[in-house]
Amino acid sequence: MLELNFKNNQEEVGSILKLRKSGKPILKIKEITGLPLTLVKKVLIGEGKEGEILVQFKEWYYKFVSELSPNSTAKLEHLRGKAIKIFFKILDELPKSPSYRHLNRILPVFIFSFLRANTVNVSISLLLNLSGMDKHKCFQALKRINGIFPEYVKRDRKQVVLGKVRMIKVYFGLDSRFFENATKILQRFWEFLCNTGDNIIAGTIAALALLSVHSNLPVLRVCEKIGISQSAVIYQLKNKLLERLNITGFKTFRQAKKMLTSEVLEKVVGIKSQ
């Protein structure tokens, strides 16, 4: 791919391709950009279809960048080249069906997953707002992308979540068994919880780990520490976890403690009550 080896600025390549896509002739592109004619021709000949994809990639990437914290700008710029390389690697692995090849669906989901995997705090609500997809289509696209490059999405995100759980352990002075159990819970229920935010996953895992060690620490305090609502954790437990396990009867977290301990932690995860 020419883009990855091209000595000139990526912005120049993108400008040439965008002008060409709008119908501008080569000489007009030369005049507008002020670049040598040989360079304009080289880009257009070498890039072809990949160039059109690259233009769309950059447009989507900057949509996310413009919505995220200004403090993240330098990091996001640094990550852009890596994101482009990975995207073109996985593009060939996507099935040929239109549902996988619709770039306006695949690109925002890929960028969202890539940023999260690289510890950029980006919310699922931002993905929904930018992409215009409903939750069902969005989560279907997430599953497709996550299945193509799990080494970037799943492994790294698990470490991010465990890092947040470790911070909870240290801040509240919890013992090592809390973190050991949290790790087991995360591994067992990752597929159930992975389509929500990292902080919410961490809070949900921490809530179950607190039950496993019979801690008196209120889940609400953990939620406040990591900036989420307790209702978000309750939603995950009820609708993402218990529902998938076909366990009914959840009303309140307090009421469900015994059920979560016996039916989920002991029977499903294998953590015995001590």
**Residue 6, φ and ψ in degrees, nearest 5:** -70, 135
Does the pLDDT value for residue 44 go beyond 80?
no
Q: What are the CA-CA distances from residue 128 to residues 104, 124, 125, 166, 264 (Å)?
A: 12, 6, 5, 30, 31
Q: Exposed e or buried b for every residue in 245-266, given b needs 16+ CB within 10 A?
A: eebeebeebeebeeebbeebbe
Q: Please name the amino acid found at residue 85.
A: K
pTM of the model: 0.51
Kindly report, as residue ranges, where domains of CATH 1.10.472.10 are found in the chain.
154-269
pLDDT, tens digit, for every residue of 66-104?
A: 888 777 778 888 888 888 888 877 776 665 544 445 777
- What are the pLDDT digits (tens) for 8-18? 466 777 788 78
Which residue has tokens 């366990």? 247
Which single residue is written with the structure tokens 């780990």?
209
What does the pLDDT read at residue 99? 46
Three-class DSSP category at 212: helix
Residue 179: is its pLDDT beyond 90? Answer: yes
Lookup: tokens for 33: 């950009």
240-262: average pLDDT: 80
Q: How confident is the model at residue 186 (pLDDT cuts 50, 70, 90)?
A: very high
Spatial CA neighbour of 157 closest among 203, 115, 94, 125: 115
Distance between CA 130 and CA 142 in Å, rounded?
15
CATH of domain 154-269: 1.10.472.10
Condensed to tens digits (0 to 9), the pLDDT of residues 202-227 reads: 999 999 998 888 888 999 999 999 88
With 90 as the cut, is the pLDDT of residue 24 above it? no
Q: Cα separation of 244 and 242, whole Å? A: 5
Most confident of 119-123, 182-186, 253-257: 182-186
